[in-house]
Structure 1
Amino acid sequence: MSSITQGRGETKTALLYRMVMEEHICPFGLKSKDLLERRGFEVEDHHLTTRAETDAFKEKHGVKTTPQTFIGGERIGGYTELREHFGKSVTKADETSYQPVIAIFSVAFLMALAISWATYDTIFTLRAIEWFFAVSMCLLGIQKLQNVESFSTMFLNYDLLAKRWVPYGKIYPFGETLSGVLMIAGTLTWISAPIALFIGTVGAISVFYAVYVQKRELKCACVGGGSNVPLGFVSLTENLVMIGMGLWMPIRMLFWSA
């Protein structure tokens, strides 16, 4: 009987072979051990302490990687295969995901509320909405600034201006971030608003043309050059936000000055 289907009174046992060396402990081995223990397994934890020992193990079992888990005499595989064995979701390397965008906008929203509370002792302010959009621009800009070269390469796939003038792809992240910082401070609107309005307008037209006119399936560079976020609604929203802020901030400045 498989150890997965053993009765409640019986101990479920799994054999785990993982690399545990002085200078390297395999993180996927640790994750496999943790997952097995959380599933109620008693783990026979076998350490592969040298490269030679690891290579010999892989050759013996005809596998290319470690860790390897065995349950009921059956080889399950590595950490990914173990997750699949237990019916857990597994993200493929090239699978699209909105998780980075959700994380950025969620944190931006909480930061905006925190700034509003610290400044006005309430979260219900117009400035909180402005800060949400401005902080979002900064966080998105940071993602791009981590690897400007990678971002600009992906950006060239669809941005109409960058295709005509390649350096624009490297200028864009700095412009977005600078504009967001100035909007958080509520100063130098004559600089932040035109920048946001310009890059937002060019970006919106580029995304709309690539996705909705040409109907191309591309990865979005909005959260950096290595993302798996699909180009479309998210990037279009980012650009529309910048257009909105580029129009709103001068109006707000004039209104409050009057």
Structure 2
Amino acid sequence: MSATISSAGHGTVQVGTPRKAVIYRMVMPEHLCPFGLKSVDLLKREGFEVEDHWLTTREETDAFKAEHGVKTTPQTFIDGERVGGYDDLRRRFNKSIADPNAVTYAPVVAVFAMSALMALAVSWAMFGSLLTVRAVEWFIAIAMCLLAVQKLRDVEGFSNMFLGYDLLARRWVQYAYLYPFGEALAGVLMIAGALTWLSVPIALFIGTVGAVSVFKAVYVDKRELKCACVGGDSNVPLGFVSLTENLMMVAMGLWMAFRALT
């Protein structure tokens, strides 16, 4: 509810009147536009009263686009002025816009953070303690498995990016297809602590070849490439993180070999 107050020399001022926005978005049985939902949510969070118009058929949607000369929906109007789609709405409210081509370490951070939490959880469940040697082992092994899953989602895409810098894959292309399976197998065996005679050589081999390849591409040849460590569709730059991943596998392989021999 709004109220009015008098202000000397300024007439009457409305207090508490909600701002209004009008939005047109696709809501069809076979398609519910996610950006329409996000736009409505953003408007409400910004304090707007939303007049929500649903475009329930393809014909209705096409007619709306033709009428307003736009190519996409949703479309938001504020004070009779067309603001535009979801990204345009975020710009109006000075909010950041995600760049799909931006370089980011987010996928790698997510994998390592989740691996650490899972390792700590298993350590607590098994030993009643978070800080154990096995927790460190599980962290590396789980990280290997999660990274392998990212590659196995699209082996072809991974191989395309991997061939850009891996020295062995460039000489023997099939290695690019075998790598994710080797990483997954070594990780699973290391989690179980089984078949060390198999997991250790795999981890040492792929970790060493990977570390040498990354070091040469980044620090010797000075090339700016994307890392295939989290799959072929990532924007993670090849560099320190990629080198660290491979060195962790080497360290894990050496540690597991040492444990087996002592």
Q: How would you bin the TM-score normalised by the shorter chain?
A: over 0.9
CA distance in 1, matches of 2:236, 2:14: 44
Q: Is the partner of 1:20 in helix, strand or coil?
A: strand
Deviations 1:31-75 (A, max 9, x none): 111111111111111111111221121122222111111122222
Q: Does 1:117 align with 2:124?
A: yes
Indicate which of 123, 135, 149 corresponds to 1:128. Answer: 135
The AA in structure 1 aligned to 2:235 is N
Deviation at 1:164, TM superposition (A): 0.8
Indicate which of 27, 47, 52 corresponds to 1:45. Answer: 52
TM-score with structure 1 setting the length: 0.93
Partner of 1:197 in structure 2? Answer: 204
CA distance in 1, matches of 2:82, 2:226: 36
The AA in structure 1 aligned to 2:126 is T
**1:18-167 mapped onto 2 (5 Å cutoff):** 18-167=25-174
The AA in structure 2 aligned to 1:31 is K
Structure 2's unaligned 5+ residue stretches are 1-12
Q: Which has the larger radius of gyration?
A: 2
Taking a change above 3 Å as real, the CA distance of residues 19 and 250 of structure 1, as seen in their structure-2 partners, is same
Deviation at 1:128, TM superposition (A): 0.4
CA distance in 2, matches of 1:116, 1:155: 34
Indicate which of 234, 239, 242 corresponds to 2:246. Answer: 239
Partner of 1:229 in structure 2? Answer: 236
Taking a change above 3 Å as real, the CA distance of residues 106 and 55 of structure 1, as seen in their structure-2 partners, is same
Indicate which of 247, 254, 258 corresponds to 2:261. Answer: 254
Aligned structure 1 segments of 4 or more residues deviating by more than 3 angstroms: none
Deviations 1:70-119 (A, max 9, x none): 12222221112212222222211211111111111111001100111111
Partner of 1:172 in structure 2? Answer: 179
Identity %: 68
TM-score with structure 2 setting the length: 0.92
CA distance in 2, matches of 1:241, 1:8: 61
The AA in structure 1 aligned to 2:115 is A
CA distance in 2, matches of 1:19, 1:28: 9
Q: What RMSD in Å do the two structures reach over aligned CA positions?
A: 1.4
CA distance in 2, matches of 1:163, 1:74: 56
The AA in structure 2 aligned to 1:78 is G
The AA in structure 2 aligned to 1:110 is L
